[in-house]
With several copies, the nearest count.
Chain A
């Protein structure tokens, strides 16, 4: 699946987009994806532990226990500050 990062989270990780494969039959929640990405290093561990982090699946905000599919577009980002 495609994973996108925005704003301060993207700056901290130095990554705006990556591909994370999902094995056939594998069951992964948005929170599970977050845990998996934390293993990429100290910066990832720290940035993805922010409790205020938000997640969108296919361009709509969802709770962290949402199950993901391999063709999903997942986006992780800090609290929004528009308006």
Chain B
């Protein structure tokens, strides 16, 4: 009996990937579990002389109320495309230091390709539809992060 529980959490606190995985693996009889985790990294180029100071912190703003609805809607669309077991999506908000975990997507399925595709689909739509905004602090300066055209392109391949 495959469970189809969806868990959506928007939270300031950190999450434990091992515990999230155990929940996905134990609450179903799905043979495949795929997880995606995104972390705060500094991608400023140390080779460039004109590069800004290294990123020291991110601040994640969101639209409370809409975020959970947007994430649940994305998971429902994934369920309409692939046979999925339990799915968990966690997104952190607030101040996040370098190396902090930002986002977790975990998908269980009886089918390996379904688990992979659904996790990618959920991340691609999360990046373009879920109301989160990143503000970056580097060298004491803060600025809003620009959206990337590549994220739009990655979402469009599912249309």
Contacts and interface: CB of A to CB of B under 8 A. Distances in A.
Contact of B133 (A4, A52, A60, A80): A80
A80 B130 contact: yes
B131 A80 contact: yes
A77 B131 contact: yes
B146 A82 contact: no
A83 B123 CA distance: 7
A30 interface: no
B53 interface: no
A82 B66 contact: no
Interface in B54-92: 60-63, 65-66, 69-70, 73, 91
Interface residues on chain A, size class? 10 to 19
A72 to B, nearest CB: 13
B128 A7 contact: no
- Chain B binding surface SS class: mixed
Contacts, number: 75
Contact of B66 (A7, A8, A11, A75): A75
A8 B147 CA distance: 12
A4 B63 CA distance: 9
A61 interface: yes
A79 interface: yes
Contacts of A11: 144
Contacts of B147: 52, 78-81
Interface in B81-140: 91, 102-103, 123, 126-135
Interface of A: 4, 6-8, 11, 52, 56, 59-61, 75, 77-83
Given A78-B133, A82-B91, A82-B102, 20 more contacts: A6-B133, A8-B133, A8-B144, A11-B144, A56-B63, A59-B70, A60-B69, A61-B129, A75-B63, A75-B66, A75-B131, A79-B128, A80-B132, A81-B134, A82-B127, A82-B131, A82-B132, A82-B134, A83-B123, A83-B130
8 contacts: A11-B144, A56-B131, A59-B70, A77-B133, A78-B147, A79-B128, A80-B147, A82-B131
Interface of B: 38, 60-63, 65-66, 69-70, 73, 91, 102-103, 123, 126-135, 144-147
